[in-house]
Amino acid sequence: MIEVKNIKKGFGEKMVINDVSAVFQTGKCNLIIGTSGSGKTVLMKCMVGLFEPDSGEICYDGQNFSEMNTDQRKELRQQIGMLFQGSALFDSMTVEQNVLFPLDMFTKKTYAEKLRRVNEVLDRVNLKDTNNKFPAEISGGMKKRVGIARAIVLNPKYLFCDEPNSGLDPQTSLLIDKLIKEITIEYNITTVVNTHDMNSVMETGDHIIYMYQGLKEWEGSNKEIIFSKNERLNNFIFASEFLQDAKDMRMLEMKGKIDNNRNMDDMLK
Amino acid sequence: MNIFTEFGRYLLMLKGMFSKPENAKMYWKEFMHQCSDIGIGSLGIVVIISVFMGAVSTLQTAYQLVSPFIPLSTIAQIVRDTVILEFSPTLVCIVLAGVVGSKIASELGNMRVSEQIDALEIMGINTKTYLILPKLLAAFVVIPMLVVVSAVLGIWGGRLAATLTGIVSGAAFDKGLHQFFKPYNVFFALAKAYTFSFIISSIPAYYGYYVQGGALEIGRASTRSVVVSCVLVLFADYVLAAVLL
């Protein structure tokens, strides 16, 4: 579990995060959503220690990250995996070397053991026959999957994903979402996903935080978000008429006013 | 950002490099990789520059020494001393500032922009130690070697030009090379090489590591690092000459 308590972070005069508190539960997909510039990436970077918050506390299973010394932080970071927006794979290394890198750096296993683990995680993210390819030779979706494989290779307790669906087609996005969700449950990880992809919100959002101009505007689950009365959240989530109609349909369906087993052709007649 | 802030951040970067490696074997691997990149990668250009530098020095010295009272072996002495004292350490290091410096700045800049440095940080790796220190140490080991190679090739190039054009015979050139040789000059050349190697690796590392933005900024950082390195090399050249000679 990760607890964020009264985090504030500014750059110069501008406050980007203003007194945000939240709890991210273990074994759940915790989503941070919000428009561009709402502070969600800065919040995530504060959580992983890439930015130092101006005030507030970040606790990993009760351990205050801000009070840790360099060695303690290093130790904790080995329990953190992160998938970056652009995958952040090492260009000069093959897929296999990318995933092998954390094992080489932090474990004393034999090469055969390490290779077995690499193949295990690459299989888990459904990547086969790509071991010797370079990042430039694989697709965006595959890069994301290599990024996930690298993030989970050391069996982390915490997984952070920064916009895992950016630049991907809807079908591949769904596959990545599904994979993140499955891995979260399978390894019982505390997963924090930063997204503005509505499919992700509805499919994987066990716990959702909506950020607006550096403040936590709303908190709930994917089941609650549809009934939210928060106007800003509704404007953000159901931005298009199509999505608004879909929401109305879903609400009617949930209230039992539409039989979702009915044939679509019958409905259109 | 003013010059003092930049200098302070540069010093903090250097200080930040000195931490215990997470895995000494991986750091050694990275060090060897950098030695190969900087050393082998620059060998070709160093060889070409050095040979021609020595050859041209011989021809131009011969052109100016027209007095019949000056023995022809003096040409070899002049070529030897200019190559050892100035051309090999300074000229080669200025070329290396372009070759090695732009490579270091653009490599680190690209890693910064594509979040690879952040990825390493999150793994718990001290990126200054892992990415910058091996480059500095490799430059410190390899660049003086390149300067020695350059001096040897420069003198050889001078001898080749002298014999091919018939300005000085091989025997006279060799005689001149042995006359009034001061081993201190080699020490001075190496002192310059070590100083310049630090400048041409740490300055580009600083500009590359702290780059912000995209491809355009990587290019700018790379160019700026080369310009600043060259100016500092020339400044250090003057200071070392004033202090050590």
Q: What is the pLDDT of residue B56?
A: 96
H helix runs in chain B, sequence order:
3-16, 24-35, 41-64, 73-82, 92-113, 116-123, 127, 133-165, 170-178, 183-209, 215-244
CA dist B232 and B94 (Å) reads 10
Question: In sequence order, which residues have a C-beta less than 8 Å from that of residue A188 and are 6 or more positions away?
Answer: A26, A27
Q: Name the amino acid, one letter, at B44.
A: G
Tell me how close the Cα of A74 comes to any Cα of chain B, in angstroms: 4
Q: Which helix (H) or strand (E) holds A178?
A: helix A170-187
* Residue numbers of chain A with a pLDDT score lower than 70: 239-244, 247, 251, 254-269
Helical axes A95-106 vs A140-152, angle rounded to 10°:
20
Q: Do B123 and A106 touch (CB under 8 A)?
A: yes
Taking residue B19's Cβ as centre, other Cβ atoms within 10 Å add up to 15
Fill in the DSSP letter of residue A64: E
Task: Judge whether A160 and A41 are in contact, CB under 8 Å.
Answer: no
Taking residue B145's Cβ as centre, other Cβ atoms within 10 Å add up to 15
Task: Judge whether A131 and A117 are in contact, CB under 8 Å.
Answer: no
Dihedral sign computed on CA atoms, order B213, B216, B220, B226: positive
Q: What is the pLDDT of residue B111?
A: 95
How does DSSP assign A131-168, residue by residue?
Answer: TT--GGGS-HHHHHHHHHHHHHTT--SEEEEESTTTT-
B70 touches A at CB < 8 Å: no
Domains of chain A from N-terminus onward: 2-223 (3.40.50.300)
Instruction: Work out whether strand A190-195 and strand A158-162 pair parallel, antiparallel, or are unpaired.
Output: parallel
Fill in the DSSP letter of residue B17: T
Residue B17 resides in a domain:
no
- A4-33 pLDDT, tens per residue? 999 999 998 889 998 899 999 999 999 999
Total structural domains within chain B: 1
- A166-193 pLDDT, tens per residue? 888 888 888 888 888 988 998 899 999 9
Domain range for residue B94?
23-244
Q: Which two structure tokens, joined as six digits, stand for A235?
A: 């404007």
How does DSSP assign A7-38, residue by residue?
Answer: EEEEETTEEEEEEEEEEE-TTSEEEEEE-TTS
Q: What is the pLDDT of residue A231?
A: 83
Report the DSSP beta bridge partners of residue A57: A5
Q: Name the amino acid, one letter, at B220.
A: R
Residue B7 resides in a domain:
no
Residue B74 resides in a domain:
yes
Which of B159, B15, B2, B9 is CA-nearest to residue B79? Answer: B159
Residue B183 resides in a domain:
yes
Q: Do A49 and B115 touch (CB under 8 A)?
A: no
Among all residues of chain A, which has the CA nearest to that of B119? A88
Q: Do B22 and A86 touch (CB under 8 A)?
A: no
**Sequential pLDDT tens for chain B (245 residues):** 788 999 999 999 999 998 888 889 999 999 999 999 999 999 999 999 999 999 999 999 999 988 888 888 899 999 999 999 999 999 999 999 999 999 999 999 999 999 999 999 999 899 999 999 999 999 999 999 999 999 999 999 999 999 999 989 999 999 999 999 999 999 999 999 999 999 999 999 999 999 998 889 999 999 999 999 999 999 999 999 999 98
Residue B163 resides in a domain:
yes
Chain A 46-105, residues with CB within 8 Å of chain B CB atoms? 48-50, 70, 73-78, 80, 82, 84-86, 88-91, 102, 104-105
Residue B2 resides in a domain:
no
Tell me how close the Cα of A171 comes to any Cα of chain B, in angstroms: 25
Among all residues of chain B, which has the CA nearest to that of A102? B123
Residue B56 resides in a domain:
yes
Q: Do A77 and B115 touch (CB under 8 A)?
A: no
SS3 (DSSP) at B101: helix
Residue B229 resides in a domain:
yes
